[in-house]
Amino acid sequence: MNGTALGSTATVTATARAGAEAERARLDAQRVERPRADMPRAATVSAPAGSASWQSRRGQIEAYFDRTAADTWARLTSGAPVGRIRRTVRAGRDAMRAQLLAWLPMDLAGRRVLDAGCGTGMLAIEAARRGAEVVAVDLAPTLVELGRDRMPTDVREAIEWRAGDFLDPALGTFDHVVAMDSLIHYRLQDVLPALAGLAERTRGSVVFTFAPSNWLLATMHAVGQWFPQGHRSPSIEPVAPEKLRAVLASDPRFAGFAVGRTERVVNGFYTSQAQELVRL
Ligand SMILES: C[S@@+](CC[C@H](N)C(=O)[O-])C[C@H]1O[C@@H](n2cnc3c(N)ncnc32)[C@H](O)[C@@H]1O
């Protein structure tokens, strides 16, 4: 038997198999994992009124994340390969998630945490792994179902998934609220009452992100706000960090809170700034 010939046949077969597997993985990664029929849908919470501009923007955000960009978002928040630009966004988002979680107590046992605008729940899962009881809520039922479907078994009991508005008081009260990149599409005049509503229901801290205005044009806008042409997201509303901190410090609705740490994360095409509000 010719070892070389056998070797080359085996190589061709292995190469073909690897190619087929890669293609299958590519197709799998592209597919939005729809909820399994055997799982009940996540409970929905209602949408509190808010201003007309909040309501109108919320409608656009829901349509965008629930339908237009659901596939893109599913892929970005998975381990599936993505292009160069989105790799920088994914790494930036990983860094931001780590930053926000680092501001919470390391041991979250017995603490209730709200992942406000959870998307597919990456932060919720990490908080649950540190012992928190998490409520993960998002306007986009498709992402909530995907998060619930992907949820590892070790946190199954610790996360309650909800579809709806994170401002709904029916969600209850919390020790910590985290809103990662879920307020960036609202105007400051709507973000402040939203933060005040969240703060009212929070015993410990509210940590959230915003788009710092001085970086916006150079980064997010340059890539169609993280996604390519044709997938344009509702516009991002930039805020000057100094202005935001000054407004928070002087607004009586936050009198019971200190305007805490702030940290900007810049990684390639991802730029976002974290802000902490800590109950006094
Ligand atoms: C940029 S994504 C970030 C998702 C997640 N926090 C993450 O970092 O992976 C913003 C999410 O906020 C959600 N969102 C925006 N406004 C919301 C609201 N009022 N109530 C609940 N979810 C909201 C959107 O539906 C979207 O899934």
The residue whose C-alpha atom lies closest to atom 25 belonging to ligand 1 is 139
Going by C-alpha positions, the residue among 65, 108, 37 that lies closest to residue 225 is 65
Largest Cα span, the chain: 86
Q: Which among 54, 139, 145, 198 is the best mutation to test ligand 1's pocket, defined by most ligand atoms within 8 Å of the CB?
A: 139
List of domains in the chain? 52-279 (3.40.50.150)
- Tokens coding 132: 């928190």
CA–centroid distance, residue 245 to ligand 1 (Å): 22
Name the percent of the chain lying above pLDDT 90: 73
CA–centroid distance, residue 181 to ligand 1 (Å): 7
Predicted confidence (pLDDT) per residue in 188-197, tens digit: 999 999 999 9
Q: What is the pLDDT of residue 24?
A: 38
Q: Above 60 in pLDDT, residue 26?
A: no
Please tell me the distance from the alpha carbon of residue 249 to that of residue 251, in angstroms, as a whole number. Answer: 6
Over 77-112, what HEC string results? Answer: CCCCCCCHHHHHHHHHHHHHHHHHHHCCCCCCCCCE
Please tell me the distance from the alpha carbon of residue 44 to that of residue 83, in angstroms, as a whole number. Answer: 34
**Pocket around ligand 1: residues whose beta carbon is below 6 Å from it?**
58, 61, 65, 77, 93, 117-119, 122, 137-140, 143, 165-167, 180-182
Express the helix, strand and coil content of the chain in percent, nearest 5 each.
45, 20, 35
Contact 61, 134 (CB under 8 A): no
Q: Above 70 in pLDDT, residue 45?
A: no
Predicted confidence (pLDDT) per residue in 72-86, tens digit: 999 999 999 999 999
| SS3 at position 139 | coil
Q: What is the pLDDT of residue 5?
A: 30
Q: Above 60 in pLDDT, residue 34?
A: no
Q: Which among 44, 46, 61, 137 is the best mutation to test ligand 1's pocket, defined by most ligand atoms within 8 Å of the CB?
A: 61
CA–centroid distance, residue 17 to ligand 1 (Å): 39
The residue whose C-alpha atom lies closest to atom 13 belonging to ligand 1 is 117
Please tell me the distance from the alpha carbon of residue 277 to that of residue 91, in angstroms, as a whole number. Answer: 25
Of the pLDDT bands very low, low, confident and very high (cuts 50, 70, 90), residue 217 is: low
CA–centroid distance, residue 105 to ligand 1 (Å): 23
What average pLDDT score do residues 209-221 get?
71
Predicted confidence (pLDDT) per residue in 157-167, tens digit: 999 999 999 99
CA–centroid distance, residue 133 to ligand 1 (Å): 19
* Residue 271, beta-bridge partner list: 266
- Helix axis angle for 84-102 and 122-129, nearest 10°, is 40
Name the percent of the chain lying above pLDDT 70: 76
Q: What are phi and psi for residue 91, nearest 5 degrees? A: -65, -40
Q: What is the pLDDT of residue 227?
A: 54
Strand segments, DSSP code E, in the chain are 43-44, 112-116, 133-138, 159-163, 174-179, 202-212, 238-239, 257-267, 270-279
Contact 144, 119 (CB under 8 A): no
